[in-house]
Amino acid sequence: MKAPLFLALAAATAATLAGCAGTNLDGMMAAGTSLTKAATLSDADVRSLSDQACAESDKTNKIATANSTYAKRLARVMAGLKNSDVPNINAKVYMTKDVNAWAMANGCVRVYSGLMDMMNDDEVRGVLGHELGHVALGHTKKAMQVAYTATAARGAAASAGNGAVAALSSSQLGELGEKLVNAQFSQSQESAADDYSFDLLMKNKARTGGLVTAFQKLAKLDGGKSSMFSSHPGSDDRARHIEERIRKGA
């Protein structure tokens, strides 16, 4: 996190020494402040940014109506994921053939109809338990810091002529949301989220086998067609890990 801040401040210093005409130093400093903020985003900051990014995403996607088959299925699925340590869960279905699902720190949960079409309720529940795990374990907060840093770094260049913008624009929010949806988590984070999902399913007395078959189905997908698959490597190995936990009963 410190390297982008150094580059932003170095750019501001270089501009000052060179006496560049039209350079907005206030804007440069604001950009540097944004980068500093990115590295220390509070939980409230992350929730606020997630609120905005999720709302922007909802504007650009078709959401299944409350009385649709997809929405009713999702309600059944989420009923088996109670007490997840993620407050204010707001789950909806995006009507798209893409295979994906994600959750943000504000409780925004979105699953794509393409994923629901290829999975049964137990499998969808296992996947969403995994996504909730990323939130509950703090992985999405770290992903937000990375995404926000990238947005602030680009703002440093833009601020040279236009000054810093206090609020993110719609396009910036859209980009921020896209980075969060496609965030690449480490293998240890993925494994931890898998175990979180398994434990959550056990807590709700839900069937855990769906988590295994969900991974098996994802493993068969072409990585180029599924953004979810590309961010969740080693599905076969992870399926075997859950199978082992099922055999042990814990």
pTM of the prediction?
0.78
The structure tokens 């088959």 sit at: 69
The two beta strands, 90-94 and 108-112, are: parallel
* Most distant pair of Cα atoms in the chain: their distance: 70
Separation between Cα atoms, residue 242 and residue 194, nearest integer Å: 8
What is the band of 150 on the pLDDT scale with cuts at 50, 70, 90? confident
The structure tokens 């994600």 sit at: 102
13 CB neighbour count, 10 Å cutoff: 12
Determine the pLDDT at residue 234: 72
Residue 131 appears among annotated catalytic residues: yes
Phi, psi of 30, deg, nearest 5: -65, -40
Query: Amino acid identity of 12?
Result: A
Determine the pLDDT at residue 107: 96
Which residues contact residue 196 at a Cβ distance below 8 angstroms, ignoring those fewer than 6 apart? Answer: 129, 130, 132, 133, 136, 137
What is the band of 162 on the pLDDT scale with cuts at 50, 70, 90? very low
DSSP state letter for 62: P
User: Of 56, 123, 131, 175, which is the active-site residue?
Assistant: 131
Determine the pLDDT at residue 186: 87
